[in-house]
Amino acid sequence: MPASDQSRWWIAAEATLGAAVVVLAASLGGAPPWTLWLLCALAVVALQLWMVGASRNHRRWGWHPALLVPLAAAGLAVFQLVPLPPALLRLLSAENAELREFALVPLGLEQWRPITVDAPSTWRALARVIALGSLLVVAIELGRFEATRRRLLAVMALAGAATAVCGFGHELASAEALFGVHRFATAARFLTPFGNANHLAAWLTLTGTIALALAMDSRTRDAAVGWGAAALACGLGVFFSLSRGGIGTFVATWGLVGAVFISRRGGGLKAVFPWLVMGATVVFAGLMGFEQLLERADTVSSLEKLRATKVDCWPMFLKAAMAFPVAGMGLGAFELAAGRFQDRDPTVTFTHPENLGLQWLSEAGVPVALLLAALAVRAALRLWGQTASLRLERIALLGVGGVLLHDVFDYSLELNAVSTALVVVVGLVAGINGDRDARPRRAVRLRGLAVSGAVAAAVFGALVAGTPAHATAENELADVIRRPGTAREVRAAAVRGIDRHPADWVLYSNAAADAARRGDPREALAWVNRLLFLRPVDARAHVAAAQALVRLGKPRQALLEQRAAWRLGDASSLEWGLALAARERAWEAIVLDRRGHLSNAIQLLRARNRLEDAALLLRAAEAASPSEDVAAELAVLRIQHDADSGEVVAALAKLDALPREERESVPLTLLRVEVLGRLDRLDEGIKALEALSVREPGRLDVALRLADAYAGVRRCVAAREVLGRARMLAVEPSSRSLVFEKEAACWIAEERWPRALEALETAARVEPGRADLHYRVAEVLERMGSLHSALEELRRARLLDTPEGARSRDAWLQRLEAADQQGPR
């Protein structure tokens, strides 16, 4: 067979591998769901091209222990997708069996269920595993040629450098959208096709390490300098991503590269070259983004902060993994399966555990996770031994190790760009010395093309089976609910979606909301119970259950559900719960051992002028023997209630009877100042505030209260001095505008209208959407005689105001228009 014919097919396969690395990285880092189709298509094409070339040139099959990992994962996915009888399902996955019996069987869904919690997600995961395995096979076969290995590694290094340069360009242009077109859901710190900083850091760690390897293994000085520049760009990109885990693993990876290089005891310029690149990376990163890096590093300045930001979620994820110890929750099914075990912020959805070990444990189960780990270790040892005399390939393997280390604290391998690049690197290294392998291999014949055809059918068949995803089912149910229809139609649509995605709590939530809207409390409560089974931390589900129980005539049980919602942090239903407790005379149900909850309840009652109910609630709280924190909060609330009820002297006596340490705390000092003000003892209150401001110079609320006290006794100069210092403490727009409002009030009290106008206009610029600020500007302009400007400001304020608020200023507008027409403009 001519050499040209041999080259044509293998070069095409090589080009497809390079395209897979570059295109997936450019496709928003491989994060969008549609990139899975792109990955599968490129993998199938690459495998087909190699198969054709191998059959035409009588190549032999290769083998490497690394292939056992995707084979084991694919076998596990197939096993997890097989429907099992209930008894066997209960044995292999008790959690899934419980979900079937509690949520599905009452809906009439009695058929056998697979081990995976979400079959479509596992089908997609199977397609991805087969596609990555196909790329690994092709990379192993092409990795037998040194020139091919070097070309493909160079493509990866250039792709990483291009990503970093893209980020630098957007940084210089101060761009907020990628290429001026695409905006990510969350603002990226370093704008590249990778919208997530952690994924970007992993990608640049791998490609930057490969670029450094090419620089160290270059045959000419010019090539070494060029690849060193590419490595420098990637390294700077890692630092500019501000990914804490990414920066840490990048530094560790390049430190290992330096250690390996030293162990070879090279001399001359090449011996110090890697250290020059590493040092230049750190120096440039420090010079270009020192403040941002310092601010980001402060978030991990202690082990406690690191624990709170990363490691704190691991017990929750381990609990989810241990609920499926035998066969796992299903490859790709973590997002839906882990919701039942979430005890953190219910507004956050964890799509992955962000830890490679926990990922394998939860989705594969303990036995298979240990098997996969053993196979991976065996393959890694084999790869390390194969690169004993090869500098380029050994350093590339260290880049792979850096990505794996990064996935201990973040996740990037679950997305398609980084995983594709890593698989190609592993395959290229695994192909070393493949032609000198003494073990017999089968030759690839034309019938071997049937294998690639079967792989293509399996990949695309799994993709079709995994489509549509659970988000589509949620949208379809929402569309049915929005359309005018019967409860039976909504229930049928919900059951269809749940049959396909039994662990998708959103489907149950939408069905419960529709039943509640239709006034069917029994149906709503049935859906809510299933929802709480899947998502126990859903506070709104407890509220919905409480409302359904009230309609069913069970208010006491409803209050128990409300307490569960309040414990989970829901505050929106507190007023409804207070009304229910007042009707049932069950104030003890409001009391929780949760700091701040009682204060919020009392504040709502005071705002409605329900002081008697507030007194009843306080008595119930005192009878409940609260914890130390709540007891301190209760003491403040009792004194505040006495002051609001007119028992000011008694309130002051209770304050003075408290221990000095408690009495001098900020809340109690501010309360004492308020009480003294009601007793016309403002001078004592001012002295207390002055002492407090010295002890707490960084408290904005203290400074504002002191300024108000000074203004109350017409000490405007002192009030303005305090407000001038408070400007540095006001960070939020609302607090900044409040400072300027208070300054304007002081100037108005002295009838110094130009200064008052300046302060109010500044406040209006800080919060331009507030109509009341523009009304006040118009008032000051009118006082100054600038009628035309006042009229314009009044019209601007009316546009920002509500229709009712704008109509209430009609008389003022007419008066200004008449005055403006009479006078000069």
Q: How many CB atoms lie within 10 A of CB 818?
A: 11
User: 749-787 burial, b if ≥16 CB within 10 A, otherwise e?
Assistant: eeeebebbbbbbbbbbebbeebbebbbbbbbbbbeeebb
Instruction: Give yes or no for residue 442 having a pLDDT over 60.
Output: no
Instruction: Give yes or no for residue 810 having a pLDDT over 60.
Output: yes
Rounded-to-integer distance, Cα 644 and Cα 659, Å: 23
**pLDDT at res. 2:** 41
In terms of residues, how long is the chain?
Answer: 825
**Residues sharing a CB contact under 8 Å with residue 131, sequence separation 6 or more, in sequence order:** 36, 39, 40, 43, 44, 459
Q: Quick check: helix, strand or coil at residue 648?
A: helix
Please state whether the predicted TM-score (pTM) of the whole model is above 0.85: no
Q: CB–CB of 787/815 below 8 Å?
A: no
Q: Quick check: helix, strand or coil at residue 752?
A: coil
* Nearest in space to 621 (alpha carbons), one of 592, 586, 583, 655: 592
pLDDT in tens, 667-689: 777 777 878 877 888 788 888 88
**pLDDT at res. 636:** 80
Q: Give the pLDDT band of residue 22 (cuts 50, 70, 90).
A: very high
Provide the CA 9 distance to its chain's centre, in angstroms. 44
Instruction: Give yes or no for residue 59 having a pLDDT over 80.
Output: no
Q: What is the DSSP string of 705-719?
A: HHHHHHHHTT-HHHH
Tokens of 206: 């791998």
Q: Which residue has the higher pLDDT, 182 or 16?
A: 16
% of the chain beyond a pLDDT of 90: 30
Q: Quick check: helix, strand or coil at residue 732?
A: coil
Q: CB–CB of 30/420 below 8 Å?
A: yes
Q: CB–CB of 663/679 below 8 Å?
A: no
pLDDT in tens, 184-210: 877 677 889 998 888 999 999 999 999
Q: What is the DSSP string of 589-638?
A: GT--SSTTHHHHHHHHHHHTT-HHHHHHHHHHHHHT---HHHHHHHHHHH
Q: CB–CB of 52/449 below 8 Å?
A: yes
Rounded-to-integer distance, Cα 758 and Cα 780, Å: 10
Burial of 790 (C-beta count, 10 Å sphere; 0-12/13-18/19+): buried
pLDDT in tens, 217-273: 888 888 888 998 899 899 889 988 888 788 888 888 888 887 777 665 554 445 545
Question: What are 369-372's contacts with CB under 8 Å, separation 24+?
Answer: 369/328, 371/72, 372/69, 372/72, 372/73
**pLDDT at res. 270:** 52
**pLDDT at res. 477:** 92
Q: How many CB atoms lie within 10 A of CB 94?
A: 14
